Amino acid sequence: MPPAEQQTGTRPEPVSFMEAFVYWLKLGFISFGGPAGQISMMHQELVERRRWISEQRFLHALNYTMVLPGPEAQQLATYIGWLMHGTWGGIMAGALFVLPSLLILIILTWIYLVYSEIPAVAGILYGIKPAVTAIVLFAAYRIGSRALKNNLLRAISVAAFIAIFAFNIPFPYIVLIAGLIGYIGSHYAPDKFRAGGHHEKSKNTYGPALIDDDTPNPEHAIFRWSQFILLIVIGLFIWGGVIALLAMQYGWDGTLTQMGWFFTKAALMTFGGAYAVLPYVYQGGVEHYAWLNPAQMIDGLALGETTPGPLIMIVAFVGFVGGWTKALFGPNLLMLAGICGAVVATLFTFLPSFLFILLGGPAVEATRHDLKFTAPLTGITAAVVGVIVNLAIFFAYHVLWPQGFNAGFEWFSALIGACAFVALFNYKAGIVTVICACAAVGLGYTLLLN
């Protein structure tokens, strides 16, 4: 066990690969609470308790992951694993952050598809759906309160909402336009595009760390063009090889091939966290490819919120349901089809995250100073808030009027959603706590009616 004391004045002993493996595996099974909770969990364990890395080095790594597309908590784990044990250490830490969540989601999604019509399960889902709507709305508020620091950024957010709500403009175009506005704004109104959500350096100290502020960079963290090019070639070989195999086996228009291509694009659109990319996943998975329906998308987000790992793991749910719905291998192998869909979606979503860390890490370590959000990223973050509000409205419509406006209004769902939002906003309740409470209320209400 790591030493409990923090101010001993002695540097921790070197950490073996196996000791690190045990920690990252454990983290993969207990990393609830979204990116903020996961980052806090790593800080408490790695900086404060075990002292594997100093506060300054931890925040330096976090600053880098915050400006990348992709799940920042998973990328932070990959970065620290890489800094400690090289390329294989980074791959191990990042993979173990994801694999337990993938396994749990595969099992839960199978249960969901097979047993969702049972009254008890249907009642639980009835309570969870309005809770998810409240969670998404609260996410928009939380991100907006940090990102929309002036009227220009608020105007970008409103314009993004109108673009996707009224004109159904695809999410990637909104991201590109917002980034372009930020780039132009950096020249003509730079003060308006200074990001306010940057992580400042902390003056906290917890005693000497294994990787301390003044610890020289290890050999593997020194930038080399040969290593940089080799990693690009390997990454492209893995990506292109799997895409080529899927295309040869199922054709370019095959479901698994299209999943690989679609989730590659989704991986590059996750600026602002998982909530930002959900509208894009919805547009593709529900509207374009019909891998799942709107109600299933809401249920998938609920499952993603209640399992460990990054929230973007909802892609595994989308892939599983897509493979199952399309019956890729016939009606007798639905489980296998779902597993293949989940694995393909996960692989192509997270492969870019590993490359960003392994390629960029040496350059970041060579220039160890504060990394600021760029002006284009500030514009994109502002637009993301409007997109998330649109997602909340989309969820609310399907939860409160499941049969359309001409049918009845689900007043009890509205009451559950309102209570969930108040719990999140006023009482700072945890997301898992809110979902469990709403699930219990939905179950009781459904059983009472029956």
Residue 7 included in any domain? no
In terms of DSSP H, where are the helices of 306-333?
A: 314-325
* Residue written as token pair 């009616």: 449
Q: How much is the pLDDT for 198?
A: 43
Q: How much is the pLDDT for 32?
A: 62
Q: How much is the pLDDT for 248?
A: 95
Among candidate residues 279, 258, 265, the one with its CA nearest the CA of residue 323 = 258
Taking the CA atoms of 36, 42, 48 and 53 in sequence, report the sign of the dihedral they define: negative
Q: How much is the pLDDT for 36?
A: 62
Cβ-proximal residues to 405 (8 Å cutoff; 6+ apart), any chain? none
Residue 162 included in any domain? yes
Residue 10 included in any domain? no
The Cα–Cα gap between 9 and 346 comes to: 43
Q: How much is the pLDDT for 5?
A: 42
| Burial of residue 268, with CB atoms counted within 10 A of its CB: 0-12 exposed, 13-18 middle, 19 or more buried | middle
Tokens found for residue 198: 């940057």
Phi, psi of 102 (to 5 degrees): -60, -45
Tokens found for residue 373: 């959000």
* Residue written as token pair 């998975």: 285
Q: Say how many CA atoms lie within 13 Å of 348 toward its Cβ.
A: 26
Q: How much is the pLDDT for 335?
A: 95
Q: What is the domain range of residue 369?
A: 17-199+206-449
Q: How much is the pLDDT for 9?
A: 66
Residue 11 included in any domain? no
The Cα–Cα gap between 440 and 1 comes to: 38
The Cα–Cα gap between 316 and 98 comes to: 10
Cβ-proximal residues to 154 (8 Å cutoff; 6+ apart), any chain? 148, 382
| Burial of residue 92, with CB atoms counted within 10 A of its CB: 0-12 exposed, 13-18 middle, 19 or more buried | buried
Q: Which amino acid, one-letter code, is at 113?
A: L
Predicted confidence pLDDT, tens digits, the chain (450 residues): 444 444 456 878 888 999 999 999 988 887 765 666 677 778 878 988 888 998 778 877 876 776 677 788 899 999 999 999 999 999 999 999 999 999 999 998 999 898 877 888 778 888 888 887 888 788 788 778 877 888 999 999 999 999 988 888 877 788 789 889 988 888 888 888 765 444 444 445 677 888 887 788 888 888 889 999 999 999 999 999 999 999 999 999 999 999 999 999 988 876 656 666 777 888 889 888 999 988 888 888 878 777 888 878 889 999 999 999 999 999 999 999 999 999 999 999 999 999 999 998 888 776 654 434 457 767 877 887 887 788 788 778 878 887 778 778 899 999 999 999 999 899 888 777 888 899 899 999 988 887
The Cα–Cα gap between 257 and 406 comes to: 39
Tokens found for residue 130: 């309005």
Residue 8 included in any domain? no
Q: Which amino acid, one-letter code, is at 333?
A: L
Number of domains composing the chain: 1
Task: Give the H or E element holding residue 330.
Answer: none
Partner residues linked to 211 by β-bridges: 53
Q: How much is the pLDDT for 199?
A: 44
Per DSSP, the residues of 264-306 read HHHHTT-TT-HHHHHHHHHIIIIIIS-SS-HHHHHHHHHHHHT
